[in-house]
Amino acid sequence: MIDINLIRNQPELVRENIKKKFQDAKLPLVDEVIDLDLRYRAAIQQADSLRSKRRTISKQIGKLIGQGKQEEAEEAKAEVTAIVSELADIEAMEGQLQEQIRERMLLIPQIIDPTVPLGPDDTHNVEIERFGEPVVPDFEIPYHVDIMERLRGIDLDAARKVSGNGFYYLTGDIARLHSAILSYSRDFMIDRGFTYVIPPFMIRGEVVSGVMSFAEMENMMYKIEGEDLYLIGTSEHSMIGRFIDTILDADELPYTLTSYSPCFRKEVGAHGIEERGVYRIHQFEKQEMIVVCKPEESPMWFGRLAQNTVDFFRTLDIPVRTLECCSGDLADLKVKSLDVEGWSPRQQKYFEVGSCSNLGDAQARRLQIRVKEKDGTRYFAHTLNNTCVAPPRMLIAFLENNLWEDGTVRIPEVLRPYMGGKELIV
């Protein structure tokens, strides 16, 4: 949610930003907010005037009674009663106007960083850099599910009977590999100075609306029937929610956190759910990075978070590239976003394995996460998040890049302590 002062004082900037995001249908929202805001502020002034008048008359009533002017005192009481009634109507209108403003403000996209490339969709995302040499071996690489099945590591048929499409059973060494990658990623992030956290896996509705847009919520979140609780789609949701309605000491910033959680997603949309694969699924696990910092520090942390993911994948001998998301591909709360893509030798192309996002003060403004300086100055914090690793999707890149012709999978050295010293899966 952007600052209301931008709409009041720089409406053209807000309109231009909407156009940059190719969301022209939202342009009328700016004028609607301006009109509602004028009415809201006028209502506040009117209410303040009535409260002042009520206080003045209320003081006069006691004097009139003391002077024996009972009739005039009764007239003053009647006037106070009328003011109270009128004030109640205006306060109700204030609440309605405030809610109407908020509803529209939640739909207006955050002001994007000036460095974001312009484009209507992800086909206009821009490659930034490649790390590692993408190799295509001289033997055919099977589909990732086939690799797992040959290693007796996955059972999709049973999962489909138990839970439906988009679920899986991982077994044996593949299940162990899945857990090893998560354990390694945890220690990798701790070694980089991040504090390890296991958050709640369910959050309340006010937190959901604070960390994501309504459209994202509808397409992603599973709601717990009969309760104000949602299953998290990523630990970022509950990690940022942890700071709701708090005032943070500036001297304690930044908070650099790494969190583990299962993630649950509807995955509603044109892409659908793969019948056999584990690329897009309803349930997975993830190691996440979260930073809460001062506004001037968020660009620096954005770069560092993205580099962490690159470095992590390179320790596993997986070539990656970074891709800057264009304006039309940015979620409305994001200021800037960078995808990290892993190399698929089978497809001979890169695919997304992580996403790094700077949300500016959007989440902090919605959740009222403020920073207090020693001189008493207060302002909204900036929040950032990034995926360190999200198996089982990451297993696709891992298996394809570490597969030998005979079907054996090599275990990189950094993972061997987490695999009981194993060097190969055969």
What does each of the 426 residues of the chain score in pLDDT, given as a tens digit? 889 999 999 999 999 999 999 999 999 999 999 999 999 999 999 999 999 999 899 888 888 888 888 888 888 889 889 999 999 999 999 999 999 999 999 999 999 999 999 999 999 999 999 999 999 999 999 999 999 999 999 999 999 999 988 899 999 999 999 999 999 999 999 999 999 999 999 999 999 989 987 677 777 889 999 999 999 999 999 999 999 999 999 999 999 999 999 999 987 554 555 556 888 889 999 999 999 999 999 999 999 999 999 999 999 999 999 999 999 999 999 999 999 999 999 999 999 999 999 999 999 999 999 999 999 999 999 999 999 999 888 999 999 999 999 999 999 999 999 999 999 999
The predicted pLDDT at position 270 comes to 42
Assign 309 to helix, strand or coil: helix
DSSP letter assigned to residue 253? P
CA dihedral 242, 247, 249, 254 (to 10 degrees): 40
Would you state the structure tokens that stand for residue 132, as one six-digit string? 């590692």
Whether 247 and 364 have beta carbons less than 8 Å apart is answered as no
Torsion 230-329-288-240 (CA) sign: negative
The predicted pLDDT at position 216 comes to 74
The listed CATH number (3.30.1310.10, 3.40.50.300, 3.50.50.60, 1.10.287.40) that belongs to domain 4-105: 1.10.287.40
Sequential DSSP letters for 15-54: HHHHHHTT-GGGHHHHHHHHHHHHHHHHHHHHHHHHHHHH
Of 352, 416, 392, 344, nearest in space to 174 by CA: 392
Backbone angles phi, psi at 376, to 5 degrees: 95, -10
Cα separation, 246 vs 259, in Å, equals: 20
Instruction: Give the residue extent of every domain in the chain.
Output: 4-105, 122-425
- Per the document, the length of the chain is 426
Cα separation, 335 vs 358, in Å, equals: 6
CB count, 10 Å around CB of 142?
A: 16
Hey, what CATH class is 122-425 in?
Answer: alpha beta
Preceding peptide of 392 cis, ω within 30°: yes
Whether 160 and 167 have beta carbons less than 8 Å apart is answered as yes
The predicted pLDDT at position 274 comes to 55
Backbone angles phi, psi at 375, to 5 degrees: -80, 5
In the block, tokens 């939640």 appear at 106
